[in-house]
Structure 1
């Protein structure tokens, strides 16, 4: 990752993660701005707004963590809990592809919203958050798990990195709907999401505990301390001043936000990492999945003379004639 010297942008930088460092505070961090990608991702589903907001937070968190890991493969963030939103799955495929879906109890979500209990921690309830690195068939999978005990995704991420990675970490996530107008169309509301990810990584020759996952942006030979160093206290205080609108406003670039936060200390930015919304499903992969079932199981899949499968991530519907699989067996 090489630093670049470019002027602050007034706007732009959507659908990208901007890595940065604040050497005076021993900080490494990332800012993510999601515009058209998160709007397209959520637009593929008919989720209630409260569920869309929660899923967008999970997508922003996944982008911040996934792009920090030096690997080729997938990073998966998944929650499983007893709240109105029982499961979130966000799949990041290096270097840039995101897809996501949610499972929820519609009645329970509606009741929570009506009662004013639609915060992320209310919707998640109790359970666990798993973060998995899958580097392919010939490499070991690594997974870290943190308890969801009435905490938000931000708080769960703090707990994971402190307990499992022993890296002091601060995460800020924000989601908003903004009014937008496409040429020749009526104004509509579009989803946006943003996030800030900070890690305190002072130079040290000692390692501080076992890490379940790759330590992300930490350079070789750099470890972390869990002590409340003055620099880390300052960094947390600065991060605490960030407002949701600064993370989601399309007219405030990531560079502008960093300047507002760290202009007295100086921040170095690196090459931005673009992000796209893309599902990995295809007709061939779905057909292969159906073919893996026994003939008797496929008979149970037939409705009105066809076998239909809808991708849970992108809502694409695939339709097959059962005779296609009889040909494959012959």
Structure 2
């Protein structure tokens, strides 16, 4: 039975929300994310081509799933650097609820990739970095995964297997829906992790122990609970992750009703940029007079455009020189 101590079960889909859940009999914990207006604004303000929008939407859903696990005021960042048509992708999550993103792409290479390239084809070869910045005097943590022709889902699986050693399944989906106001972007995702109390049960048996001869493969059996949970979670369809008429609770009930699933208080998400005139002024003051002089445009002013939100701001060089 699907239950929650925090709020009643909803039959209505809630956009821009991360909903944590647990399947206690299987030692599973996870999160479902639904992004509506937040991801729509994020994508439309840049006017990306459709394939790039889909990739950025996937990255935003993955970042929301991972960043929302932060229990502190901090920042989580997903960033790719590759040789693909989309050579850079950055998504920032500022705890507890702010998302922003941008992508850099080569229009000619994108056109050469065909009509419907997937995320793996757009990214190509390079790496994916996941960074947690706790702020203050706290140390930063960064995990890096090589991108070798796989998409973001596969890269997330590789990250958890290598860096966290937690059995994890991730599903991501992006689509456009027709509304009364026109066509809108939607993104969704599901993360399920095997987190038993016993470290022996949690351990990844297929990891190389380090002293095995080359070519040796360990074939220890997978935990039965994780096998069952993974099989159930893997049945989720793309359209279910982005369907505005299907609530996250009802989706989880479909997946795990035989075992029983509990949902917890959700975390709202919204698109927001941290840029401001004051922040940019501070950055410009860090440059020398000569460096700022090189930034002056034909109109005699220094123009700065935020890569994330696209807002353009102009500054008078004399204001900095006087200071």
Tell me if both proteins adopt one fold, taking TM over 0.5 as the criterion: yes
Shift of 1:9: 1.6
In the aligned structure 1, how far is the partner of 2:199 from the partner of 2:188?
Answer: 34
Is 1:252–2:246 an aligned residue pair? Answer: yes
Shift of 1:8: 2.8
Q: Please, what is the CA RMSD of the aligned residues?
A: 1.7
Which residue number in structure 1 is paired with residue 11 of structure 2? Answer: 10
Which residue number in structure 1 is paired with residue 217 of structure 2? Answer: none
Question: Which residue of 256, 259, 262 maps to 1:262?
Answer: 256
Structure 2 segments unaligned to the other structure (5+ residues): 205-219
Is 1:301–2:302 an aligned residue pair? Answer: no
Which residue number in structure 2 is paired with residue 158 of structure 1? Answer: 157
- Structure 1 segment 1-330 matched on structure 2, within 5 A: 4=5, 6-114=7-115, 116=116, 118-181=117-180, 187-204=181-198, 208=203, 228-303=222-297, 304-328=299-323
Change (3 A) 1:52 1:200: same
Shift of 1:202: 1.4
Question: What's the CA shift string for 1:2-33, capped at 9, x where partnerless?
Answer: 95254332223110100000011110010000
- What SS does the corresponding residue of 1:80 show, helix, strand or coil? strand
Shift of 1:300: 1.2
In the aligned structure 2, how far is the partner of 1:135 from the partner of 1:3?
Answer: 30
In the aligned structure 1, how far is the partner of 2:93 from the partner of 2:8?
Answer: 30
Residues matched between the structures, number: 304
Shift of 1:35: 0.4
CA contact (8 A) 1:81 1:127 kept: yes
In the aligned structure 2, how far is the partner of 1:294 from the partner of 1:49?
Answer: 41
Which 4+ residue blocks in structure 1 deviate beyond 4 angstroms? Answer: 205-209
Shift of 1:126: 0.8
Question: What's the CA shift string for 1:243-296, capped at 9, x where partnerless?
Answer: 111000100110010011111110010000111111000001111111211111
Shift of 1:205: 5.1
State the TM-score, normalizing by the size of structure 2.
0.90
CA contact (8 A) 2:301 2:314 kept: yes
Structure 1 segments unaligned to the other structure (5+ residues): 182-186, 210-225
